[in-house]
Amino acid sequence: MDKITLTTPIRYLKRVGPVMSEKLKRLNLETAEDLIYYFPFRHEDYSLISPIAQIREGETVTAIGRIIKIENNYLRSSKQKTIQKAILKDNTGIIEIIWFNQTYLSRTFSEPKLVSVSGKVKRQGRKLQFISPNFEIIGPEEEIDSQKPEEKLTGTGRLVPIYPVTFGVSNNYLRRVISQALPNLIEEVEEFLPEKIIKEERLIGQKEAVNQIHFPENKAYLAKARKRLAFDELFLLQLNFLLNKRRWEKRQPAPKMKNKPGILKKLISSLPFELTNCQKRAIKEITEDLNRPVAMNRLLQGDVGSGKTIVAAAVILVAAKNGYQSVLMVPTEILAQQHYQNLKTLLTPLGISVKLITGSNKKEVKDSKEIWQLIVGTHALLHRRRDFRRIGLVIIDEQHRFGVSQRSILIEKSNLPDKDRFSPHILTMTATPIPRTITLTVYGDLDVSSLDQMPPGRKPVKTYLVPGKKRKDCYQWIKKQIKTGQSQAFIICPLVEDSETLESVKSATEEYRKLKKEVFSAEKIGLIHGRMKSKEKEAVLAKMKNGETEILVATPVVEVGIDIAGANIMIIEAANRFGLAQLHQLRGRVGRGKKQAYCFLFAGKTGLKAKKRLRAMEENKNGLKLAEIDLKIRGPGEIYGTQQHGFPEFKIASYTDLALIRSARFHASQVLEKSPTLALYPKIKQKLNRSPGKIVAPN
């Protein structure tokens, strides 16, 4: 074949071929460029190379020598299990190597060969041993330059790259293929960042970064490579966001809505409390957006109980007084019912008509010809058109629970003739605490309003991690509180029913039966979970609200949208199975009245890491702080679900690196300010258009 280039199909690379190329496709590796940009997620440090005589117990070390003896021994307990014992010799001494169930090694080392062996050294009696170490055959006679072994070694004797792999594709194989392809391809790697950015951020070049990320000379070079490649990812991502924002602003014009004097006066004066400063600020920011001919695209984020509903009511009122409909879409019927009741109470006295559309009541409104000023609903909204005439404002609550296509369908809903079409203003809301780094990297194309104050009078929920031996005491304390007639409790279980694979995890249905029979037989106890029909759930919650139920056993279905003033006690079973953000959301279901609220976390047997994470719930009442802690410990994938949210899956970059994220955003905005179409930066434009999840740069 002709010269190998970045666009060469991977099957034509040395050591690949048609069979392995099919396996590599599972890793999305189809071209030579895909291969060299397939970065390791970590490195094992086998860079300490030592003469055998100087090796010490407990060291992670590399020894280079010859295998002078190897034998297979069968374990007495089973003839199916074998031990391979080998002797490695260099000029200073010998050391024993143990492998398990790798009988082929006796053939591999049937003749003395020079090898490099890396691993942790343990002591067995008076002997030092390598147990199941990495090894590489250097050659039968060939010697190696002991000063620079990394020039010939890829899996031992250096910082060794560890890649994500799949069945039939090992790390050893990937290292060999990449090490052979990289020298021929690296010259084709082009620098795309302007020299000015490289100097200001003190970055190494693209060629050097790609080389060093695979086979770094040392830890310092590895750190430089990671910084450069992380910056690249973040820079291209921020360009995507900023270009997307410009495209949004070039959509069809949005309706201008004026917040005329007096529109909000009646609403605010009807409230039994004063708005917080951050609520006032958010309303101002949003209404200013509504008064522009460009469609608003804003995120309103606030902790549990911070007052997002009041802000939403205010902007809905402004839209209605300007002659436009508002639509509020939420992920669950429980939350839809909650919003409907709250907004109806706030807005109906002001002359605003409010309608609820969910899966369970859609038949009731099917034949109605009335057009409402506010429509609250679930996914059922997506299947209706007749109710929509002049949608000027779309509000999406807990928007991460909807797919991109679902949001788009709602935004496009309109029966207006083409000549009169306009783009509605979009407000997304979330009570899920979002760290600043996530906001910049996932919601980078949105303007953000934050409610970072709690309404006056809200007492922090006292939270305790309770050892198992204190469970009975906890139950007795809850009984006493309920007897006063002023307390209600939630008991949260992760599962609906018992699971064979998760035997130790409590299920709501089984826990309900057990507690009703053995623990709270004298109390009024109920059950709610996601598999119930909507009307069943509504009936259960109604009983809880009016005090007919004192203890409600539930799954996390109550995580959002439940507002029961009398509930001031919560037990969370298997708390270690939840993220801190979700625990905080659940905890927010209690303490919504004036009485002191309590949250008890039961976790069973957990490691120190899990206990430390749960202790953070005791110490922190701020959802954003907890989200920051969770992000560092578990990453965004586990907290928010990368696929559901559409989070970029970084190869190198981190959601916790705020400084680098800010730098990347700054430089991306500078580039677009200088050249909005990227005409002055053709290499950036080319790189952007070849990036995963790209937004094609403008012409």
pLDDT digits (tens, 9 = 90+) for 174-210: 999 999 999 989 999 999 999 999 999 999 999 999 9
Dist CA 355 CA 344 (whole Å): 8
Dist CA 436 CA 656 (whole Å): 9
CA 182, chain centre distance (Å)? 32
**Tokens 């928010």 found at:** 640
Residue ranges in the chain whose pLDDT is less than 70:
1-2, 76-80, 140-151, 361-369, 384-387, 399-421, 457, 497-505, 560-561, 634-648, 691-699
**Tokens 């602003």 found at:** 249
Q: Which CATH number fits domain 44-160: 2.40.50.140, 3.40.50.10190, 2.40.30.10, 3.40.50.720?
A: 2.40.50.140
Q: What angle do CA 357, 361, 367 make, to 5 degrees?
A: 80
Q: Which pLDDT belongs to residue 405?
A: 52
Count CB atoms within 10 A of the CB of residue 476: 11
**Tokens 């999305």 found at:** 28
**Tokens 């500078």 found at:** 670
Q: Decide: 32 and 10 in contact? Cβ < 8 Å.
A: yes
- For the domain spanning 265-291+307-430, the CATH number is 3.40.50.300
CATH 3.40.50.300 domain position(s) in the chain: 265-291+307-430, 462-620
pTM given for the model: 0.75
Q: Decide: 527 and 508 in contact? Cβ < 8 Å.
A: yes
**Per DSSP, which regions of 271-417 are E strands?**
297-302, 325-329, 354-357, 374-377, 391-397
128 backbone dihedrals φ, ψ, rounded to 5°: -95, 140
Q: Which pLDDT belongs to residue 609?
A: 77
Q: Which pLDDT belongs to residue 643?
A: 43
Dist CA 238 CA 650 (whole Å): 13
Which tens digit of pLDDT belongs to each residue from 632-685?
776 665 544 444 444 567 889 888 888 999 999 999 999 999 999 999 999 999
CATH 2.40.50.140 domain position(s) in the chain: 44-160
Count CB atoms within 10 A of the CB of residue 370: 8
Q: Which pLDDT belongs to residue 128?
A: 93
- Helix or strand holding residue 127 (H, E): strand 127-131
CATH 3.40.50.300 fits 462-620, yes or no: yes
Q: Which pLDDT belongs to residue 642?
A: 43
Sequence-ordered list of residues with C-beta below 8 angstroms from that of 44, at least 6 positions apart, any chain: 118, 134, 159, 160, 162
Q: Which pLDDT belongs to residue 549?
A: 93
